[in-house]
Structure 1
Amino acid sequence: MTIIRTIDKALAGTLIFAMVSILLTVIWQVVSRYVLKDPASVTEELSRFILIWIGILGAAYAYRQNAHLGFNLVVERQSAAVKRVLLTLVEVIVIVFCVLVMLFGGSELVLLTLELEQISAALGIKMGFIYSVLPISGTLIIAYALVNIVTLWRHSDEEAA
């Protein structure tokens, strides 16, 4: 699990960096617009792109921290064996969603926008690089779901012994 801890720290560090970056970008936008009377043209687009990355990578981080929304009322009323099966089923559904939508769909979006050479207006960045957060986050969530399944079954086997 050392690899997962390293990934956790890297993800947390990336999100902290992104939050500081968006804060500084928005502050500069306000200063350049109201104090200097010459608004910076790139700050709005940059802050939007950083926000996309924060939101989608933040979803992976929240998933790892079990901070996502869930309807636990039904699960909590079940026996330990049924609860384990239900929680495993939820993790499998998450994996299927992430594989189909975030990994394959996100990769297709990235490849399409890179192939079409879609460029952002103000920054001149290839949009495929911005959209690459989808397969990255999907991969992280899949890894975390697999860790959750292994942990769920390992703990239940330890309790039975």
Structure 2
Amino acid sequence: MSTYRSSMIRFSDTLDKVAMVLSGIAIVVLVGAVILQVVARYVFSQPPAYTEELARYAMIWAGLIGASMSFKRRFDPALFNGINRGPVWIKIGARLIKSVVVLIYLLPILWYVFFGPGMNPARGFLLRHSRTMADALPFSTVWVAIAVPLMIVFILVHLVARWSGDDRPAHTDADQ
């Protein structure tokens, strides 16, 4: 395997490990915020205002970053499971169709993350969120919105790694 191919697969594996840590942290924050809210509501009858919002933002991060992990492991919803029999050109065509569907879905989203209507960067998703503050937490919602392009970039890297020869599912917890 060429250096480029093995480097791309290693980079994809590294991004998957980063995604695993990020989504793990998000799940811990989500569960912690929900537990705090339940205890504060039913024991003290006064839940903090920020717990619901914190849980929602953690759920967004866990879900989006978890989607990239799912794609890496081939647990993502597929149009078809792939063609195991038949000529090579049919197998390559099926992989190509799957890849085109992923690109058709993700590239417009990535575009509008940075550019709004009329290619206006001021109306892009991230720039609009940079001017919006969270209701109960003291930070800009851009820190939540950044999960969208991050997830897309992770999935695009995993897609390139698939075409570079990454035919195996990613490492599972049992493998480590």
The answer (yes or no) to whether the contact 1:25–1:46 under 8 Å persists in 2 is yes
Corresponding residue number in structure 2 for 1:20? 28
Structure 1 residue corresponding to 2:112, chosen from 78, 82, 105: 105
- Give the one of 39, 47, 51 matched to 2:47: 39
Separation in 2, partners of 1:132, 1:98: 15
Question: 1:49 is matched by which residue type in structure 2?
Answer: Y
- Return the offset for 1:133: 0.8
Other-structure match for 2:91: 83
**SS at 2:101's partner residue?**
helix
Q: Across the two proteins, how many residue pairs are aligned to each other?
A: 150
**Is the 2:132–2:141 Cα contact (8 Å) retained in structure 1?**
yes
Q: What letter corresponds to residue 88 of structure 1 in structure 2?
A: L
113 and 152 in structure 1: CA distance in 2 versus 1, 3 angstrom threshold = closer
Q: CA RMSD in A?
A: 2.0
Match of 1:7 in 2: 15
Q: Which of 72, 80, 84 is equivalent to 1:64?
A: 72
Secondary structure in structure 2 of the residue aligned to 1:121: coil
1:105 is aligned with what amino acid?
Answer: Y
Separation in 2, partners of 1:45, 1:152? 38
Instruction: Give the TM-score of the pair, scaled to structure 1.
Output: 0.84
Note the residue ranges of structure 1 that are not aligned, 5 or more in a row. 154-161
1:84·1:152 contact (CA, 8 Å) conserved in 2? no
1:156 is matched with none
Task: Give the unaligned 5+ runs of structure 2.
Answer: 1-8, 115-123, 168-176
Letter in 1 for 2:22: T
In the alignment, is the contact (CA less than 8 A) between 1:42 and 1:122 conserved in 2? yes
Per-residue deviation at 1:152?
Answer: 6.8
Question: Does structure 2 conserve the Cα–Cα contact (< 8 Å) formed by 1:15 and 1:54?
Answer: yes
When structure 1 is superposed on structure 2, of 67-76 and 131-140 the one drifting more is 67-76
The one-character-per-residue Cα deviations of 1:31-66 (angstroms, maximum 9, x if unpaired) are 111112211110000000111111111111100110
* Residue 53 of structure 1, aligned match among 42, 45, 61: 61
Misfit runs of 4+, over 4 Å:
none
**Structure-2 separation of matches of 1:104 and 1:66:** 25
CA contact 1:98–1:139 (8 Å) conserved in 2: no
Identity %: 23
Secondary structure of 2:165's aligned partner: helix
Instruction: Give the TM-score normalised by the residue count of structure 2.
Output: 0.77
